[in-house]
Amino acid sequence: MSTEDQVIVPVEKLRDFVFRCMQKAGAKADQAEVMAELLVAADHRGHYSHGLNRIDYYLTEISNGWNSVDKEPEILKETVATALVNGNNCLGPVVGKFCIDLAIQKAKSAGIGWVSAKGSNHFGIAGWYSIRAMNEGLIGMAFCNTSPNMIPTRSKVNVLGTNPISVAAKGNSNEEFVLDMATTAVAQGKVQIKHLLGKDIPNGWGVDRHGKPCTKTEEVLYHGGLCPLGGTEETSGYKGYGLGFMVELFCGILSGSAFGSNVRMWAGHSVQANLGQCFVAVDPKAFAPGFEDRLSELIHQCKDSEPAEGEQEVLVPGDPENKHIQLCSELGGIPYHSKQLAFADEMAQKYGVEPLERL
């Protein structure tokens, strides 16, 4: 974005704004705190599709009674290393935090914790959960199924969701590997942001109602769908399709939740989402010694390799996010397009809270 369109919002001001909005919509203080931490983390890490951009979705779900704010997740079945959790239609991040913390607890005693959840809702960026485990010295993983907006290779019908994957682990000297990605070419929110800004999307992000490549956001969002990671069959989109199916196996199939085209759509729904999620924590100490050393060595094998012509450096997953966090630190807050903050002002007026403060 150009500097004249850029507005800086201090991180704490954003956290406070989200907290106030969530409470005004009906969330309890501890739930509002989880939501604020998650949404701020998304934008702080540069994942604008899942931060402030998503606030109206969560507020609508709460205020219309589509998410339960008077219940808590509960364990239905467990072993020393596994658990099945009923999210009881609570806010997705509330369910997700409960599950990853349970997986962390089990990993610390059994070497691994694998927790699947049903009855959940949209949980934001998957990386927020895997990083939570990473910060405890573990390998963290998080997966979630979503409303069907991926069109499988050779189809023109939405069946799978963006079905994100995240894996996070820490090496030496705070070096990190943090993979956080959709199994579609991009997250749905990135198309929504392009739509908000009145821009077309790149070829390979989505298809039209006939299953053909399309760059028009309105057609992709409301009539067509997203391409699997990789794009068309000619550019290996079937691999993204396969990964999305794998996530569905871990989440919807394993937990007994809704799956595939059985998952409700985002808009105009009248039933609970009943999303399936999966959270894994692994203790590297249960395996070969020297995990951190080897991870750091591999990170440097990639980062220290000679860049291609015209490139300045080689990155590993997690580097773009850390660079964005550093940029926010230099700017004194998170940079937003002015149109994104106009949307935040609409939310403030809609829910009767003080507007989001800027620098």
Query: How large a percentage of the chain has pLDDT more than 70?
Result: 98
The Cβ of residue 22 has, within 10 Å, a number of other Cβ atoms equal to: 27
* CATH 3.30.1020.10 at 186-226, yes or no: no
308/326 Cα distance (integer angstroms): 25
Say what the pLDDT of residue 190 is: 86
Cα-based distances in Å from 91 to 48, 61, 124, 126: 20, 9, 10, 14
Q: What is the pLDDT of residues 69-81, one digit of tens each?
A: 999 999 999 999 9
Strands (E) across the chain are located at 6-9, 74-78, 82-86, 112-120, 139-144, 165-170, 176-181, 206-207, 213-214, 225-226, 275-282, 334-337
Whether the pLDDT of residue 167 is over 90: the answer is yes
Say what the pLDDT of residue 204 is: 93
77/99 Cα distance (integer angstroms): 13
Residue 1 pLDDT grade (very low, low, confident, very high; cuts 50, 70, 90): low
Say what the pLDDT of residue 154 is: 94
What mean pLDDT is reported for the chain?
Answer: 95
Whether the pLDDT of residue 268 is over 70: the answer is no
Residue type, 172: N
Where in the chain do CATH 3.30.1370.60 domains reside?
A: 72-182+239-304
Q: Give the DSSP letter string of 322-355.
A: HHHHHHHHHHTSEEEEHHHHHHHHHHHHHHT-PP
Which of 121-125, 281-285, 337-341 has the least mean pLDDT? 337-341
Q: Give me the CATH topology for the region 72-182+239-304.
A: Ribosomal Protein S8; Chain: A, domain 1 (3.30.1370)
Q: What is the pLDDT of residues 77-119, one digit of tens each?
A: 999 999 999 999 999 999 999 999 999 999 999 999 999 999 9
Residues in the chain: 359
Q: What is the pLDDT of residues 10-45, one digit of tens each?
A: 999 999 999 999 999 999 999 999 999 999 999 999
Say what the pLDDT of residue 187 is: 84
Q: What is the pLDDT of residues 298-331, one digit of tens each?
A: 999 999 999 999 999 999 999 999 999 999 999 9
Where in the chain do CATH 1.10.1530.10 domains reside?
A: 1-65+331-359
Say what the pLDDT of residue 5 is: 82
Say what the pLDDT of residue 280 is: 99
* CATH 3.90.550.10 at 1-65+331-359, yes or no: no
Does the pTM exceed 0.85? Answer: yes
